[in-house]
Every structure is written in C-alpha cells, then in structure tokens.
Amino acid sequence: MVGIPLKKLAETLGFEIKNGRAFGDYKGYSVTLADGMGYKQIHFGVCLAKDDPRWNQILGFIEANRKESRIKGYAIHPSHIDIRLEDVAGTIKHLPDFLDKVVNMLQEAEVPGNTVCWYCHNPFTEVPSKIQLNDAVIPMHSACVERCKDDVQHASQEFNKEQKNYIQGFFGALLGGLVGTIPWIIVYLLGYFVGYLGLLIGFAAKKGYELLGGRPGKATHWIVLIVVIFSVIAGQFIAENIDLYMYLKGEGITGFSVLELPGVVIELFKYEPDYRSTAIANVGIGLVFAFLGIFRLFRELNKEGRGNFITLKPIE
C-alpha cells in the first residue's frame, strides 16, 4: 500500500507506483517503499553471497542506528535488505535522510546495487527485467528469472515430498501445550487474568511440535490451533479442580477424594447456571486473547507450511 504522503515522496524521487508499492533507482540501488500498519517498509536491492563478510557490516550498521532511526525490524537476504521504520510524526520527512544513510553505507562497503544481478552475480549488459521478489522490486536477467522460478518449483516439490512426522509433532505440540498451561493455572489461582498467556501456550505447542521431530507442513498450524484450544480448556479445567479443592479444604470439608473433584466440577457445570456461565466466559475470553496473541505465530506457521519459499511476480 502506498499512502498519499509516501506517494508524494515517491513522485519527488521519480519512482514508479505499481502493485501497491513505490520503487525506482536511488543512487545506484533499487529501492522499494510501501506503507504498513504503523510502519514504513523499505527494501534495498543488493547482491550478496551467503558467506559474504559484509553481512556483519550491514548488521552492525542497522543495530547501531536502530534506536535513532526507529527501526522496528529488519531482514537481510542475498537479493535485498528489508527494513521497517516505525511510522510516527516526522518519519516521512526524514525518510530521504535515512535512504541516504543506508546507501552511503552500502557504497562504502562496496555492496553491488542495480548494476549486478543478485542471482548470477554478473553485471547487466542490457536492460534487465524488473521483478517483484517477495515484496522488493529488483532487476534480474530474464534468463535468471526463469532459472530462479525453476529452482523455487523444484524446492517446493521436494518440500512437499518430505516426511512431515505429523503424529510425532502432534504429541510434541500436546506436551508443549500442556506445559504451557502451568503458568496459566498458577496465575488463575492467584486471581489474575490469564488470557494473555495464550501466547505462551501457542509458543510452547509450536516448540514441542519441532522438538519431537515434526516438520513444517500445511497441517502444522491446524495441529497447533487444536492443541492451543485443548490446552486452554484443559488448563481452565485443572485450575477449577484445584480451586475447588482449596475451597473445600478451607471450609474444613473432608472425606472426599481428589479423584472425585473432576466429577464434581462437571456436575457443577451441568446443573449450576451461574457456575457454567462463569466457566464458559473464562474459557471464551481466554481463547479470544489466546488467538489474538498467537495470530502472528499462525502467520509464521502458514509461511512455514508452504515451505517459506520466495515468490516472483512480474511488474505489470
């Protein structure tokens, strides 16, 4: 997306606006600009080998300028550098200065820009093709575009053939999710709100999935989703049992077995409307906050489930 302020800046820089982003040559580097939710997304086209020592130089520059330039996030790829700037008052005004700062660093480090194809590392001898690689618009040889597409297709086919170990992953996610409910139970018994701990349950479920050998796949995020729902309900149910036990003990009521408590909780849920509505509200609110908390995690899982491959689109 390109908002009005960014569009005006793009016009000043002589950039094109297509496919929901502004892009063009900036002092020898292909730069792509776009608006996000609360941030400005910037991509600098480069050509870097995976073992290039200049990666560390770029990382050092970004970290050194992180606070001053309000950098929210970044990623470095062989083809381009992604940087997100926090979108606050004055960001658009200072954006050209930031572009200058980054480009000057790249020039001093002698990082190739739009004169070299990132894929083959050879210079352009004719007008290159403009291609949208993920979110960045960069130049490539036409033949390199086709070879890159073939590489992605081959990698995707190999990924789909790979054994995913979903069953092992499921039990790992279940174990991780149940471990993640421990803080949920403790915080609930202390009388505090627990919904935000859904993020921890989601993280623990995903980590458990990976630790027991589960591989990223199309079903991974569904496995984590089911486990999170189960874990939230199980955590709440266990907490209700412990809460009931502590209440009975505090009232001096004896002669009951701990094994009887789940049945009592279920009976209370079935026949006590106030208890049932309170329990449903607790679980419902907990699930809502759990889903809000792990929404970003699900986006990452969706990406991993597709193999996390690059995408190539022509600029139309």
Q: Which CATH number covers residue 142?
A: 3.30.1460.10
State residue 299's pLDDT score. 63
> Of 128, 159, 190, which residue constitutes the final position of a domain?
159
229: containing domain: 166-305
CA–CA dist 141, 292 (Å, integer) = 43
Q: Let me know if residue 54 belongs to a domain.
A: yes
Our count of domains for the chain comes to 2
Q: 285 and 216 in one domain?
A: yes
CB count within 10 Å of CB 268 equals: 15
Q: Let me know if residue 316 belongs to a domain.
A: no
Q: At 231, list the tokens.
A: 């874990």
pLDDT in tens, 257-274: 778 888 888 888 888 888
CA–CA dist 229, 37 (Å, integer) = 28
Q: 50 and 128 in one domain?
A: yes
CA–CA dist 66, 74 (Å, integer) = 10
> Of 159, 175, 195, which residue constitutes the final position of a domain?
159
Q: Let me know if residue 290 belongs to a domain.
A: yes
Q: Let me know if residue 314 belongs to a domain.
A: no
Q: 182 and 225 in one domain?
A: yes
Q: Let me know if residue 245 belongs to a domain.
A: yes
Which residues neighbour 199 within 8 Å (Cβ) at sequence distance 6 or greater? 290, 293, 294, 297
Q: 172 and 127 in one domain?
A: no
Q: 111 and 21 in one domain?
A: yes
Q: Let me know if residue 196 belongs to a domain.
A: yes
Q: 174 and 140 in one domain?
A: no
- C-alpha distance from residue 298 to each of 199, 208, 226 (Å): 11, 15, 12
Q: 268 and 251 in one domain?
A: yes
Q: Let me know if residue 284 belongs to a domain.
A: yes
Q: 94 and 14 in one domain?
A: yes
Q: Helices in the chain by DSSP H: which ranges? A: 4-13, 54-65, 91-108, 142-161, 166-189, 198-211, 220-250, 261-271, 273-305
Q: 135 and 19 in one domain?
A: yes
> Of 100, 126, 159, which residue constitutes the final position of a domain?
159
State residue 110's pLDDT score. 94
Q: 260 and 236 in one domain?
A: yes
Q: 223 and 273 in one domain?
A: yes
State residue 298's pLDDT score. 64
Conformational region of residue 165, where left means phi above 0, alpha means psi within -120 to 50, and beta covers everything else: left
Q: 154 and 70 in one domain?
A: yes
State residue 160's pLDDT score. 62
pTM of the complete model beyond 0.75 = no
* Tens digits of pLDDT across the chain (316 residues): 888 989 999 999 999 999 889 999 999 999 999 998 889 999 999 999 888 889 999 999 999 999 999 999 999 999 999 999 999 888 899 999 999 999 999 999 999 999 999 999 999 998 999 999 988 999 999 999 999 998 888 877 776 666 667 888 899 999 998 998 898 888 888 877 666 777 788 888 888 888 888 877 677 778 888 888 898 888 888 888 888 888 888 888 777 777 888 888 888 888 888 888 877 887 787 777 767 666 666 666 555 544 456 788 887 6
Q: Let me know if residue 310 belongs to a domain.
A: no
